[in-house]
Amino acid sequence: MIDIDDGWGLDVETGEDWLFITVRCQKGHSWETPPLVDSICKEVNKRSAQRLILELQEIEIFHSRLIGQIILLYKRITSQGGMIRLVGLSQQNQLALDVANLSSRFPWYKSRDDAIRGVPSMLHG
């Protein structure tokens, strides 16, 4: 695990044509805003990755600053011709994206396999 801030870390794995990054957040740190964008972009650039799956199952709550980090990350990745897919959102975090009118920009996926295949969870019913 790569420590990025107090209570926050990243697990990084490479797969065929994809970079998988799991964001880790220890209990009690969910209201903090770690340097996600710079830390994730550093890993993406280090591996020359164009396709990123961001696994967020350990994020308890998407507060506005964290959503802002996800938006900025999306802009950086896509401005360089890449793509980003979100995996493992809780129902509460799905609702946070809906309320912020971001669900269409950030379709979420139940699993890595769904994300790789491009089958958004909202289509599963």
Quick: pLDDT tens for 46-97. Answer: 999 999 999 999 998 888 889 999 999 999 999 999 999 999 999 999 888 8
pLDDT score recorded for residue 73: 95
Which positions ≥6 away from 40 have C-beta within 8 Å? 10, 21, 52, 54, 73
pLDDT score recorded for residue 45: 95
pLDDT score recorded for residue 122: 58
Q: Which domains does the chain carry? A: 2-119 (3.30.750.24)
Which pTM does this prediction carry? Answer: 0.90
Cα(31)–Cα(6) distance, integer angstroms: 12
- Evaluate if residue 9 carries a pLDDT over 80: yes
- Evaluate if residue 110 carries a pLDDT over 50: yes
- Give the model confidence (pLDDT) of 31-54 as tens digits: 778 889 999 999 999 999 999 999
- For 59-109, the DSSP string reads -----HHHHHHHHHHHHHHHHTT-EEEEE---HHHHHHHHHTT-TTTS-EE
- Evaluate if residue 12 carries a pLDDT over 90: yes
